[in-house]
Amino acid sequence: MNLTPEQRSQVIAEAGKLASNLNLSSDQKEKLQTAFTDARAKVGDYLQDHPNITKADIVKQVASQRDQIRQRVVNFLTPEQLKMWDTEVAKAKEFLGQNMAS
């Protein structure tokens, strides 16, 4: 899925706002950063191992990593932070369109 420069800027701005609204501790920020870094690396490895992959397969792989990040954040976000996380992820899925929601 390709984003326009405007959409990419909006996603970055919203991610920054979410991080601020969650009021993460230093430890939580580190854990979240690690979760995202690991997910990006796994998707990158998958793409490298499967050079002829379809867009549908990429969407499935990204969704799988998103689910794994959710499982990880459950371990260190407070219930209030987790509720906000889930709300913002749902908004992101809607913004990015049906392809990312699968």
Q: Is 61 left (phi over 0), alpha (psi -120 to 50) or beta?
A: alpha
pLDDT tens digit string along 6-51? 866 776 777 777 778 889 898 998 888 888 888 888 888 888 898 8
pLDDT tens digit string along 66-88? 888 899 999 999 999 999 999 88
Its pTM stands at: 0.71
Q: Two tokens at 50?
A: 């499967």
Residues 67/60, Cβ–Cβ less than 8 Å: no
Q: Look at residue 100 and tell me whether its pLDDT is greater than 50.
A: no
